[in-house]
């Protein structure tokens, strides 16, 4: 987290509902963590007098998940941290992959890849890479889709 500026934590496909932390009892040596209820984000600020090198707190989401945060304090600019839970995404990916025969699901995956569409539960990466030449054929990875049991 930023030592002198705000750090924002935001969930992908969920929102934080509450945060919990232990107070040190000394206002000059206590960090602030607050939940912004409209967007469901968490904001953390560290006072100049804070002596510890790290902080920890818990947050509960609107979907009932509990996350523990253990963060080092660094002399960096304001940060935004976006959080996703791959375990929850696996359920969405498995649902997509189990909605038909394997060949039908493979065709739907290929169609989604061809149109650069999002699939719930799939991790989609767009790696920066150079084309490779194999004889007269030039190929380049544009996107990598990874689900529960399928990849493309």
The answer to whether the CB of 5 falls within 8 A of the CB of 75 is no
Give the pLDDT confidence score for residue 43 in this predicted structure: 96
Domain that residue 125 falls in: 86-146
Which candidate, 136, 94, 144, 92, places its Cα nearest to that of 116? 144
Element (DSSP H or E) covering residue 134: strand 132-134
Give the pLDDT confidence score for residue 89 in this predicted structure: 62
Q: Name the phi and psi angles at 97, rounded to 5.
A: -75, -15
Mean pLDDT by 10 residues, the chain (152 residues): 94 90 82 92 94 93 92 94 78 85 91 86 81 89 86 86
Q: What is the pTM of this model?
A: 0.60
In the chain, what is the greatest distance between 2 CA atoms, to the nearest angstrom?
71
Do 32 and 49 fall into the same domain? Answer: yes
Give the pLDDT confidence score for residue 90 in this predicted structure: 62
The domain boundary residue, chosen from 36, 62, 83: 83
Do 28 and 43 fall into the same domain? Answer: yes
Number of domains in the chain: 2
In whole angstroms, give the CA distance from residue 139 to residue 134: 8
In the block, tokens 């150079």 appear at 130
In whole angstroms, give the CA distance from residue 58 to residue 133: 50
The domain boundary residue, chosen from 28, 59, 83: 83
Give the pLDDT confidence score for residue 14 in this predicted structure: 87
Do 91 and 127 fall into the same domain? Answer: yes
In whole angstroms, give the CA distance from residue 83 to residue 80: 10
Using DSSP, how many helices (H) and how many strands (E) does the chain show? Answer: 2, 11
Helix (H, G, I), strand (E, B) or coil at 30: coil
| 151: in domain | no
């Amino acid at each position: 987290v930023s030592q002198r500026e705000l750090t924002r934590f935001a969930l992908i496909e969920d929102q934080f509902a509450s945060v919990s932390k232990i107070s040190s009892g000394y206002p000059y040596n206590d960090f602030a963590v607050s939940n912004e209820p409209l967007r469901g984000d968490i904001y953390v600020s560290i006072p100049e007098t804070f002596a510890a090198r790290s902080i920890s707190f818990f947050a509960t989401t609107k979907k009932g998940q509990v996350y523990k945060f253990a963060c080092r304090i660094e002399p960096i600019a304001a940060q935004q941290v976006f959080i996703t839970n791959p375990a929850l995404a696996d359920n969405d990916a498995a649902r997509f992959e189990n909605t038909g025969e394997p060949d039908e699901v493979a065709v739907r995956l290929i169609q989604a890849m061809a149109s650069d569409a999002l699939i719930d539960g799939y991790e989609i990466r767009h790696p920066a890479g150079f084309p490779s030449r194999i004889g007269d054929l030039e190929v380049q990875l544009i996107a990598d889709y990874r689900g529960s049991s399928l990849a493309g």
